[in-house]
Amino acid sequence: MRDAAALARFDQEVALRDGTRVRVRPIRGDDAPRLVALYEHLSGDTRYQRFFSMMRRLPPDWARFLAEVDYTQRFALVAEAPDDPGTLIAVARYEPAGEPGTVEVAFVVQDAWQGRGLGTVLFRELLRAAAANGFRRFRAWVLSENRRMLALIARHGTVEQRAFDGGVVELTFVAPPLSPSSSLETSA
């Protein structure tokens, strides 16, 4: 899905539950410094829920790796702050999961933007992008206390396997077919 027309359908303004409009778009290589800044604006709890560790800051080389995707095997979407397009408020991604046809998903939404439906929007669009690239099977590692993420996966996927180890839930799930014309607007 590297062609501009295919990627353009993931570059849209969306309305969140509270009516706020934000831009969701595919990540770009020049977003690396914005990923570092996003990390700096996450609470300690949110950092830990996403990365399972407490790094002081996101290393720039790691941010570059996360920002440089091929839009097929590795894909990521970002959401920009409505009043400042240079500021990222969320990111959702999939990466190879080590098993053919399966990708790992991960998300993070800045604390002030949680609970508005942004995670739901990003999750649906990430599943749509994965399907366009031939992926319908997913894996996620989620801290057991991260009820929002566990509920999001349960609402939008069919869990095939669930394992629990040391406070982490490993889920393997499939996504139902998604309509290519579905709106990005939130309804959940």
Which sequence spans correspond to the domains of the chain?
4-174
Number of neighbouring beta carbons within 10 Å of residue 147: 10
pLDDT number for residue 99: 87
pLDDT score for 47: 58
Task: Identify the CATH number of the domain defined by range 4-174.
Answer: 3.40.630.30
Two tokens, residue 134:
């031939």
Residues 6+ apart with CB under 8 A from 38: 87, 88, 89, 90, 91, 108, 110
Q: What is the pTM for the complete model shown?
A: 0.86
pLDDT value, residue 188 = 41
Tokens standing for residue 51: 């990365």
Smallest CA-to-CA distance from 129 within 83, 93, 85, 86 is with 93
- Give the model confidence (pLDDT) of 17-45 as tens digits: 999 999 999 999 999 999 999 888 887 66
User: Which residues in the chain land under pLDDT 50?
Assistant: 181-188
> Between 147-156 and 118-132, two packed helices, what is the crossing angle to 10 degrees?
50
Q: What is the pLDDT of residue 50?
A: 59
156: number of CA atoms within 13 Å, CB side?
23
CA angle 69, 86, 92 (to 5 degrees): 40
Q: Are the C-beta atoms of 134 and 3 separated by less than 8 Å?
A: no
